[in-house]
Structure 1
């Protein structure tokens, strides 16, 4: 993926969503050839020359100052995620290229991280790596996602693939469109951080070919980072319920995120989670099933 092309398309897409009247600029008569703000209007708002902004949008500036990027971000009314994405594209940090997978290998987690996941018996939890690969998980995560993660190959255990290519996901997630767009936005954030990752380019290409929605929404250049919120589920086993999710960065592995789903104690959703844990335990080898506490 070419960072200069990504920067150019991102800035054009953000200009296109603003109108002169939204920014306080005078509106003159006549037909506008481009949607949203013109380059010269954006340059005026950011306080830079038109030539400088044109070179920035074309990716022809090698060392853009923080003050300039801040001015452009303010002029474009970027949110925090979009501002971070702009920095990643305009001032790429030289990161080590993610290694190519060999022999089915994948990103690793520490044994203690897996122990933590397994200890969260009634809490669906998993760790996402680069490209939103699911690199560690507990049994309750498989139960909640209604997919046997252990049975999938490393390349298939990817949240974007599960959301866009698994038809059952459209029934599982209460608002599939929002979940899909959020997932895509998170993937684009990763793409901006690792523009030289060939496996990321391969994943985006595959999803673009196999999913019309992904192909259309990827062109919108939306980005997303939301570390907590609420998600509604239509689960085939325990029915409808909503859970709170937390996305926590792994301190010594910034490309990895621990995701958990919980419910208020005593709520109907909490009961659904406990029923899901019991059902999943009953479906496994009882020797490996941890004892269930008294729900009363």
Structure 2
């Protein structure tokens, strides 16, 4: 049975209020409290709305709010840009964005060629689609992280890899942060497409098989990948720090091209060049996507 994905404004407001301390919100002299977070009346005051109106929003008795009120709440809750966008999406969802297009996502030939070009300059690269499905990768990315082309179709997914493959816990030095960001990116997807049955199945499967995912999903946090760095403990070339940038290739806004790199002249750059020396040329061709299933993920090392 698909997992329930319908995002509720009430749930998100409660979660965001609970994780914001009075000090973070600029409220001084709040004193000791039995529970963490702001009180409803404090948030209402900061947002410039009545306590009764805010209470109705948080109790689900009012399911809509104007853009101006949403922006005021976002300011009061100290939301970042991704969190602010998510708040607007779940509060005022457009009917066209509630269910994704039924056709399968495919890589444009130019994007596939770009993956090969990036490998030539020692840049591992992935293309992720909806639900964090891995749509393409170059061989250097396969050597650095995982060869998704060799996995059964249901397992070619970044979230499944992070939460269900033991190799991920060994590979990512800061696995808890990677896991938290991964769950938050799926939550962002759920805000855009709350009626996506395949995303519902994925969330349900991860919730059953990963206690960590279940806990992170309940936090109701969102994250959109942009730029950053990750530390890897690679079984072949050892420890290295990889930077990444995210782009949207072609005309599909639900695809993300992730390009990895290293600091020039660093030990990480040397390690990546050593790894590149073991890579055959050309992108590993991902088989045509079959229908996803909820079968338990097989482990890959």
TM bucket normalised to smaller:
0.7 to 0.9
- Whether the 8 Å contact between 2:6 and 2:190 is mirrored in structure 1 is no
- Whether the 8 Å contact between 1:59 and 1:90 is mirrored in structure 2 is no
CA distance in 1: counterparts of 2:5 and 2:161, whole angstroms: 26
- Whether the 8 Å contact between 1:108 and 1:135 is mirrored in structure 2 is yes
Aligned to 2:267: 268
- Whether the 8 Å contact between 2:246 and 2:256 is mirrored in structure 1 is yes
CA distance in 1: counterparts of 2:58 and 2:189, whole angstroms: 21
- Whether the 8 Å contact between 1:15 and 1:37 is mirrored in structure 2 is yes
Aligned to 1:205: 204
Size of the aligned set, in residue pairs, is: 276
1:114 equivalent in alignment to 2:117: no
Q: What do you get for the CA RMSD once the two structures are aligned?
A: 2.5
Relative distance call for 1:39 and 1:143 in structure 2 (3 A) is: same
Relative distance call for 1:26 and 1:52 in structure 2 (3 A) is: farther
Higher relative CO (Cα under 8 Å, sequence separation at least 6) belongs to: 2
CA distance in 1: counterparts of 2:186 and 2:161, whole angstroms: 13
Aligned to 2:288: none
Matched residue SS, 1:269:
helix
Q: Deviations over 1:124-152 (max 9, x none)?
A: 1011111111111111111111x321111
CA distance in 2: counterparts of 1:50 and 1:243, whole angstroms: 47
Which ranges of structure 1 fall in alignment gaps of 5 or more residues? 286-296
Relative to the length of structure 2, the TM-score reads 0.83
Which ranges of structure 2 fall in alignment gaps of 5 or more residues? 285-301
* Bigger mean CA offset, 58-67 vs 120-129: 58-67
Relative distance call for 1:65 and 1:168 in structure 2 (3 A) is: same
Aligned to 1:293: none
CA distance in 1: counterparts of 2:29 and 2:169, whole angstroms: 45
Matched residue SS, 2:69:
helix
Aligned to 1:10: 12
1:164 CA displacement? 0.5
- Whether the 8 Å contact between 1:250 and 1:257 is mirrored in structure 2 is yes
Relative to the length of structure 1, the TM-score reads 0.85
1:98 CA displacement? 2.1
- Whether the 8 Å contact between 2:108 and 2:250 is mirrored in structure 1 is no
CA distance in 1: counterparts of 2:65 and 2:136, whole angstroms: 38
Matched residue SS, 1:260:
strand
Summarize the alignment of residues 148-187 of structure 1 with structure 2, pairs less than 5 Å apart: 148-187=147-186
* Bigger mean CA offset, 207-216 vs 116-125: 116-125
Summarize the alignment of residues 1-296 of structure 1 with structure 2, pairs less than 5 Å apart: 1=4, 3=6, 5=8, 7-20=9-22, 22-24=25-27, 27=30, 35-61=36-62, 63-96=64-97, 97-100=99-102, 106-121=104-119, 122-145=122-145, 147-250=146-249, 252-281=251-280
